[in-house]
Amino acid sequence: MPKFMPEPYRIKMVEPIRLTTREEREQALREAEYNMFRIRSDDVYVDTLTDSGTNAMSDAQWSAMLMGDEAYAGGRSYFRLLEAARDIFGYGYIQPVHQGRAAEKVLLPVFLHKGKFAIANLFFDTTRAHVELAGARCLEACCPEAANSQLRAPFKGNMDVGKLEQLILEKGPENIGMVVMTVTNNSAGGQPVSMQNMRETAEVCRRHRIHLNIDAARYAENAMFIKLREEGFSGVPVKDITRDFFALADSFTMSAKKDTIVNMGGLIGVKDADAPYILKVKANCISYEGFYTYGGLNGRDLEALAVGLYEGLDENWLRYRLGTMEYMGARLDEMGIPYQAPAGGHGIFLDAARFYPHIPYTEFPGQVLAVELYKECGLRACDIGSYMMGNDPDTGRQVKSLNEFTRLAIPRRVYTQSHYDMVLEGIGEVWRGRGDVRRGYRITWEPPILRHFQASLAPIEG
Ligand SMILES: *Cc1c(COP(=O)(O)O)cnc(C)c1O
């Protein structure tokens, strides 16, 4: 039996949850038109829909909130946040915003417009949406290891640097508005990017004079993976690894709802405090988010964020965090259940295409598995596959995803080992019954952008 690393926290406030019956869950699914985002959280037992903003804050964060300065401009809490973010990332300009997509909305149009391209090691869904909303188009250059869930490699989130350079030459460097390095690589399964790969990517960008942005939601998990897996880093504090990693980029956009362990918040960072485009960033922020010393957040939120930036980097915490995923991965290995291996930093990405090889990507195997897991044990997970990818903005055709995953994204400091064990038993049951599921889902209604959040689905009969 794989060992579970004990939780490095104790619980001083609880929130009741209730396990529903199978009939209640089937009813809830029908009412939600099989969209996991439309199920009420009261009808969910263990919620792994996302690790975004679903974290439990610490007593230190809650007490810092009482110190929030709610001034409209120049608040003390802003300067506290600035100090923490500058200390950790070493960047000259820091801009709070209300969440990750707000950072994208404010920064991306400064570099992207019609005729331009952005290239990433894989785009997260909202990042892809904001590239397209700016009028630009997305190109991807993920390392080939990511496409094979059974191939165990230490840094499956890496950029394919050769492909990156090839895409740059093909489209012309002047047409590439930005390169985006997503850490960890969410769509590839929470897989890390190595320092070496970041260096090589930065070298290519520097040579072609292309802006390099880090999509930094999981900066701490990525740094811990570097410490644990990359040669030469085992003795280096993750805080130093983080600083060195960020020094290689020009800017970052960050959802602070992940590794920064708050419920709401985001950041933009610009390395060069004198970069002229900071004026545009400030102008966009004032128009869309609020004055640039609060960026759509309360003063108390800035305080919680400042504390969370450090808590996210605590190495005991990170050892437990990555240890939890490793434990779940090891239990799945024992049962012979396929997932993106080795386990990523923020969750388990089950390989739905291997659960249901007879279900084509146009019927969304990742969505099928999410529904089966919910029926089985009240676990809420979601598709990270073709259902999420949506349609090509130019041709309207369904895009085929690199992988068909069902993602269990684990909220931070919320659940305990017995929850994970229950979930693992549920996955085992669904795996054993996989042959009984013959067909997938069709979409009966979808909005034009980010459809997976809202679409209606129906099971295909037959
Ligand atoms: C969550 C996330 C975002 C978007 O952030 P929100 O806070 O949800 O708006 C962007 N990029 C990555 C990699 C993310 O994980």
Residue-level length of the chain: 462
Q: Is 364 a catalytic residue?
A: no
- Rounded Cα gap, residues 42 and 30, in angstroms: 16
Instruction: Decide if pLDDT at 462 tops 80.
Output: no
Instruction: Decide if pLDDT at 450 tops 90.
Output: no
pLDDT digits (tens, 9 = 90+) for 8-53: 999 999 999 999 999 999 999 999 999 999 999 999 999 999 999 9
pLDDT for position 449: 84
Mean pLDDT of 111-139: 96
In angstroms, what is the span from residue 346 Cα to ligand 1's centroid? 13
Mean pLDDT of 63-85: 97
Which residue in this structure is represented by tokens 């090889």? 357
In angstroms, what is the span from residue 424 Cα to ligand 1's centroid? 26
pLDDT digits (tens, 9 = 90+) for 145-193: 999 999 999 999 999 999 999 999 999 999 999 999 999 999 999 999 9
CB 425 within 8 A of CB 377: yes
Which residue in this structure is represented by tokens 């004079």? 209
Residue 447's region, left for phi above 0, alpha for psi from -120 to 50, else beta, is beta
For 441, the token pair is 């889902």
Does the Cβ of 259 fall within 6 Å of ligand 1? no
CA nearest 440: which of 380, 389, 379, 386?
A: 386
Residue 232's region, left for phi above 0, alpha for psi from -120 to 50, else beta, is left
CA nearest 214: which of 189, 193, 183, 257?
A: 183
User: Max alpha carbon distance in the chain (Å)?
Assistant: 63
Instruction: Decide if pLDDT at 1 tops 90.
Output: no
pLDDT digits (tens, 9 = 90+) for 89-110: 999 999 999 999 999 999 999 9
Q: Of 68-77, 218-227, 348-357, 447-456, which range is least confident? A: 447-456
- Rounded Cα gap, residues 413 and 54, in angstroms: 9
| Percentage above 90 pLDDT, the chain | 97
Characterize the bridge pairing of strands 456-459 and 441-445: antiparallel
Considering the entire predicted model, what is its pTM? 0.96
CB 146 within 8 A of CB 351: no
Instruction: Decide if pLDDT at 448 tops 90.
Output: no
Mean pLDDT of 117-124: 96
CB 405 within 8 A of CB 351: yes
Does the Cβ of 260 fall within 6 Å of ligand 1? no
The protein residue with its alpha carbon nearest to ligand 1, atom 8, reads: 100
In angstroms, what is the span from residue 53 Cα to ligand 1's centroid? 10
pLDDT for position 416: 96
3-state class (DSSP) for residue 221: helix
Does the Cβ of 255 fall within 6 Å of ligand 1? yes
For 295, the token pair is 């960026």
- Rounded Cα gap, residues 437 and 153, in angstroms: 31
Does the Cβ of 216 fall within 6 Å of ligand 1? no
Mean pLDDT of 414-429: 97
Position 301 confidence tier, pLDDT thresholds 50, 70, 90: very high
Active-site residue (options: 217, 223, 304, 455)? 217
- Average pLDDT over the chain reads 97
Instruction: Decide if pLDDT at 263 tops 80.
Output: yes
Structural domains of the chain, with CATH: 22-51+314-459 (3.90.1150.10), 60-311 (3.40.640.10)
Does the Cβ of 242 fall within 6 Å of ligand 1? no
Q: Is 125 a catalytic residue?
A: yes
The protein residue with its alpha carbon nearest to ligand 1, atom 11, reads: 124
Q: Is 258 a catalytic residue?
A: yes
The protein residue with its alpha carbon nearest to ligand 1, atom 14, reads: 217
Which residue in this structure is represented by tokens 């990170």? 318
Active-site residue (options: 37, 59, 60, 72)? 72
In angstroms, what is the span from residue 126 Cα to ligand 1's centroid? 7
For a pocket test of ligand 1, which of 142, 186, 264 has the largest count of ligand atoms closer than 8 A to its C-beta? 186
The protein residue with its alpha carbon nearest to ligand 1, atom 3, reads: 100
Mean pLDDT of 208-215: 98
109 phi and psi, to 5 degrees?
Answer: -65, -15
The protein residue with its alpha carbon nearest to ligand 1, atom 10, reads: 100
For 174, the token pair is 């002047």
Q: Is 124 a catalytic residue?
A: yes
CA nearest 239: which of 128, 334, 315?
A: 315
Q: Is 239 a catalytic residue?
A: no
Does the Cβ of 54 fall within 6 Å of ligand 1? no
Q: Is 452 a catalytic residue?
A: yes
Does the Cβ of 101 fall within 6 Å of ligand 1? yes
Q: Is 215 a catalytic residue?
A: yes
Does the Cβ of 98 fall within 6 Å of ligand 1? no
